Structure 1
Amino acid sequence: MRIMSRPKQRAMIARELMMVSRAAHVLQRTGLAMAGAMAGTFVAAQLAKGHVAFFGTLAFIVTAIVIGAAGFYLGIDIPRPALRATGRIDAVELMSAGGIFLAALAALVSVYGIIFDEIPPRAWELVIGSWWFGGVLMLATAGLVGRQRLTHKVAPISAGPIRDQRLRR
């Protein structure tokens, strides 16, 4: 039996905790993607009940499901920028909030229509579809921009040479 020192034990415990945290994060993101796919399914089902041939195609339904999963996966958990004293509004956070609101509103209206067997007028079908695709597009864009912004801030810090001799070990 090998006896480990305290620092090695702490490092091993920290690695295990980090792995559990990452697994939990992946589980959370997968759940959000499933919620987005479910909402996309509801919107596609509601729009397919209308009398527009394009909305009843398998390609449209699959596209709504895939875009919903990707949008919810990318756009809900956005890294926050460091607090700035400028007082400016964070456009990424605003896009994510607006996107989730529009996508959820479209899903809610669609579920209502499915449950109560209501077919909205043709103009409302376009509105519901626009809410859905606009909201999911806003979510995906916000998620990608937020992650891109984070990598630009982290990369210059880690790319510099190490000046302190104690950190070179």
Structure 2
Amino acid sequence: MRLRVRKAAHFLERTGLALAGAACGTFVGAHVGTSFAALTTIGFLLGMIALGAIGFYLGIDIPPLPFQGADEDSNASGKIDAAEFLSAFGTFLATLAAFASVSAVVLRLNLHSVWSWLILIGWLAGVTMQITAGTIARLRRAHAH
């Protein structure tokens, strides 16, 4: 029973993260869509929402590799966990882009198109890093079992 409750709680947590990602994607899509007429399609907006949901579902809360000090394994002491780094940096980029989008929409800022392109590129890079991090972590876990 306890395992089922734990799994259900984890599923709810991941679903909440996916919804947060979808909301971020909605704001980025809305802002970028208002900046570039060619991107005012439902398909573009749904794509941004889907990328956000997938990225935040897969790429947040990546279990890090076990910590090993320099005494324990000299080969592992200098390694960077790619999944953990991509997750952290990707989440930062995606949420920074979403924050900029929300700010522009709410404050009715008329940003130069360069800023809108940077927001779009930051968003896409961030969610791509999250998806990559989630994939790496899941492949790592599958090979460990």
TM-score, normalisation: structure 1: 0.79
Matched-pair contact (CA < 8 Å) for 1:76–1:96: yes
Task: Return the offset for 1:143.
Answer: 0.4
Aligned-residue Cα RMSD (Å) equals 1.0
Q: 2:5 aligns with which of 8, 20, 42?
A: 20
Matched-pair contact (CA < 8 Å) for 2:18–2:56: yes
The residue aligned with 1:124 is 115
% identical equivalent positions: 43
2:12 is the counterpart of 1:37: no
What pairs up with 1:63-142 in 2 under 5 angstroms?
63-84=47-68, 85=73, 86-87=76-77, 88-142=79-133
Structure 1 unaligned segments of length 5 or more: list them.
1-15, 155-169
Task: Return the offset for 1:127.
Answer: 0.4
Q: What amino acid sits opposite 2:45 in the alignment?
A: I
TM-score, normalisation: structure 2: 0.91
Inter-partner Cα distance in structure 1 for 2:110 and 2:19: 26
Structure 2 unaligned segments of length 5 or more: list them.
none
Q: Deviations over 1:69-122 (max 9, x none)?
A: 000000002132233432111111111000000000000000100111012111
Task: Work out which of the two has the higher radius of gyration on C-alpha atoms and give 1 or 2.
Answer: 1
Inter-partner Cα distance in structure 2 for 1:54 and 1:144: 31
The residue aligned with 1:60 is 44
